[in-house]
Amino acid sequence: MKKIVTGSEFFLCIVGGGISALLAVLCFVLRAHLINTEEYAVYLRNGPLFLLSFLIVLLLLVLVKKPLLHIKSRTLFLLFCGIFLIAALYLNLRIPEGLKGDAFMINKHARLFHEGNFEGLTKGYYLHYFPYQLGMVAWEDFLLCFSASNRPIFVMNAVFALLANFFQWRIYRNLFAVPEGEDSLGEKYTILFSFAFLPLLFFTRFAYGCLPGLMLAEGGVHFLLCSIRKRRASLAAVSVLLFTLSYIMKLNYLILCIAVSLILLLLFFQEKKKSFLLLAILILFCAQAGLQLTYLTYRQLSGVHFGAGAPASLNTAMGLMPEEEGSGRRGGWYNGYNFDTFGKVDFNEEKASAVAREKIQELIAYWRTHPKKAALFFADKVVSSWCDPLYESVWIGPLTDEGNRIEDPALDSLYSGDHAYRFAEGWMNVLIVLLEGGAALFYLGGIARKKKRPLTTCIPALYLIGGFLYLLIGEANSQYTFMYVYFLIPCAVRGMADAGLHKAVRRICSGSVCTVFRRNRSSAAK
């Protein structure tokens, strides 16, 4: 069993670190610029300005070290909370309230549910296709008890973002065993990077399961680590509950549930404690049971019998389709295939699955006979999904390209793709390179230095691997990737520290300064 655990840990570090390194290199070279209504990313090559910005940010990270040493983590966190809340209120009170896409449909049916109208669950309506959105519908239905406006959704999203950052901070402390009552420099950088992650701010405008699910998932990991560290069953129970709710809010967080359960299984093999095995089973069982309970509740309330909706295999088929079948969108992105196919078979889940399987086999055969096209197709999926620095967090808002009028000049500049957007995009481009590069240093560097770390530090790596593979074969979208990168922050911070980033930057800067000084002296002598 010891060999299984050691081998699994080695595999996770190598693969997780390798994927992080690949993404860091890709994001260093180029970015996917996505601000148009058509949701079609344009690839832009990073030039000298990006390199200069990257070096400046590295220097700033070194310069803020001394101030960070003289401020308590709690004070730093509360300071950024205040700034974030002001920014979130400014953003959400000065732009149009309207929604679009899935967010609009969820909001529409939440309002109908609030009036006792459950027609959205019947054949031909949105929720019959996608009943897994009922978690978000229930949440918005609840908020409508307090206000008919959508603003409370945005305000609560801001609160969820703050809670996610709080849990991120505490995860660092638990992962790296920071003693109670002590502050570490690493946790302060974790706080700094978490609040600097701009999509969290822009996603407050998104009435969707992304932010609520992220907060619940982060909370689940936090309480799980606390339960392992303190050996308390009550904390483990809270963790299971939060993982379950995160899955109900957004299905994508099932990947995290699976990743956590696999790590718990390895801990069971390592320490021979049945509690780890029990907890792994409970997380997966309760997640599925929670979703089915949600379905059952709404079947009882509405009197409408609905199933699980469009099968996941339809999304897989859609994710393997070349651009020629994409209705003007990039290959592997949403093109309506799942929606159209489910409707054509009269919402019969078995027939839809059969059609999807046949389509998948057809597409696999096509890519096998066209290996060069296949390589370009999957490379394009990776770049379009992972190299958008803002992860569509601005695109989901009121784009001026769609006819929205924004009076505020700064916000108009953001949602029109002008200077504010380019600044935010550039900043995030630098940040994600640092985070992905830092995570690569943590996992690959740890292997090179044969540094022993707790198995729980592999959770972000396994989560990243799962997300990367899922998006490689399933429906691609840059909205679906931000949570994997965000989860890397604690390990990325530790990776940069382990690699001696501060010392390296100092050497580079001092070397550069000395070189310039020598050149000036020699010129003067001549």
Q: Total domain count for the chain?
A: 1
What is the chain's length? 526
Contact call for residues 375 and 395 (beta carbons, < 8 A): no
Quick: pLDDT tens for 110-162.
999 999 999 999 998 999 999 999 999 999 999 999 999 999 999 999 999 99
Q: State the residue range of the domain holding 446.
A: 2-525
The structure tokens listed for 347 are: 């919402």
pLDDT value of residue 520: 46
Separation CA 145–CA 148 (nearest Å)? 8
pLDDT value of residue 524: 39
Separation CA 90–CA 88 (nearest Å)? 5
In the predicted model, residues of the chain with pLDDT beneath 50 are: 512-518, 520-526
The β-bridge partners of 476 are: 333
Quick: pLDDT tens for 40-50.
889 999 999 99
The answer to whether the pTM exceeds 0.75 is yes
pLDDT value of residue 177: 87
Separation CA 189–CA 73 (nearest Å)? 10
Separation CA 294–CA 138 (nearest Å)? 9
Q: Specify the residue for token string 């809010």.
A: 249
